[in-house]
Amino acid sequence: MCHPCGVSLRLSVLDQSPIAEGSTGAQALRNTLDLARLADTLGYHRYWVAEHHGGPMLAGPSPEALIGPIAAATSRLRVGSGGVMLPHCSPLKVAESFSVLSGLFPGRVDLGIGRAAGTDPMTTHALQRDRRQAAPDDFIDQLGELLAYFDAAFPPDHPLGRLANTLPGRPQQPEPWLLGSSPQSAIWAGQLGLPYAFADFINPGGSEVAQLYREHFVASGRLEDPRVAVAAWTIAAETDEEAIRLSASSRMAMKLLRQGRLIAVPPVETAQAWLDQQGSRPRPGRASERRMILGSPATVRAELEALASAYGAEEAILVNIVFDHEARRRSYELAAEAFGLTGAASLAA
């Protein structure tokens, strides 16, 4: 598939560092480094790590702590956050952390910024520095301050303006992205002239939101034209049936999560037995309550191409949770082969 401008669809990775039942968070983090090295070899464009707190399933509460080791373990990938949940953070602290990373790995660091809590209300409360009252919903002000540090764009008499010149990684800086799954995020990304990544795996109906982003887009110093990436839940296997089988683990975990029950990623057999009791049987391609792209390489390519076309996206960011790390590696290998990534062809040879 080609983007409307003639550019081939880029493939990237969003890694949530899943913890398999019977394993540990430490092993999940080592798996993240292993998968990043594989993605670098295969020819994926970027590798983002997510932020989640306070649960037994995902081992990535701190993207800024993972990006450096991933960038050091790879040579070509862009590496970044998918994303930093800004309401938990000081804009200056985020600017400093990502300035350090950009100085160490010039031209390779992305700062994906999100608004969601990434956890439950009690853990959100625990993350607050001041717990006397709920934190204000001032995301757009935080975002404006964060970008002003990178752009040195504070008004001349602003008391924080001098801090923009103290960022340690200058002149290097990360590429900011706004992440979202709602119309409001699209409007902000457009108005600020930021690239926009839409979480289709959270809200599988965002093509109109992507269009809203384009309608509100204003060219900025960092981006002349709108740029959209779509993050999609994707499991590739040798056959459609095997991909559906592998998806049982994440489908069980997600169903229980919606009920407020948090578990580590269950084995496929355990999950399939539980799902059978629930009467849950997906089909190849798009499946279940959330959109899941499941299938053979040919099925996955066709579905990703259709999804990217619907969004007008030039990049697909693949995210998945499976029980077995080797199966997850193989999923990314098969997707890379399906799209003819150069590294995948070399690895196959």
Q: Is the pTM above the cut of 0.85?
A: yes
Taking every pair of Cα atoms in the chain, the longest distance, rounded to a whole number of angstroms, is: 65
pLDDT for 270-321, tens place per residue? 999 999 998 866 665 554 455 899 999 999 999 999 999 999 999 999 999 9
Q: CA-to-CA distance for 263 and 322, rounded, in angstroms?
A: 13
pLDDT at 7: 44
pLDDT for 15-73, tens place per residue? 999 999 999 999 999 999 999 999 999 999 999 999 999 899 999 999 999 999 999 99
Report percent pLDDT > 90 for the chain: 79
SS (H, E, C) the chain: CECCCCCECEEEEEECCECECCCCHHHHHHHHHHHHHHHHHHCCCEEEECCCCCCCCECCCCHHHHHHHHHHHCCCCEEEEEEEEHHHCCHHHHHHHHHHHHHHCCCCEEEEEECCCCCCHHHHHHHCCCCCCCCCCCHHHHHHHHHHHHHCCCCCCCCCHHHHHHCCCCCCCCEEEEEECCHHHHHHHHHHCCCEEEECCCCCCCHHHHHHHHHHCCCCCCCCCCCEEEEEEEEECCCHHHHHHHCHHHHHHHHHHHCCCCCCECCHHHHHHHHHHHCCCCCCECCCCCCEEEECHHHHHHHHHHHHHHHCCCEEEEECCCCCHHHHHHHHHHHHHHCCCHHHHHHHC
pLDDT for 179-216, tens place per residue? 999 999 999 999 999 999 999 999 998 999 999 999 99
Domains of the chain are 10-348 (3.20.20.30)
Q: CA-to-CA distance for 115 and 86, rounded, in angstroms?
A: 6
Which of the pair, 119 or 68, is modelled with greater confidence?
68
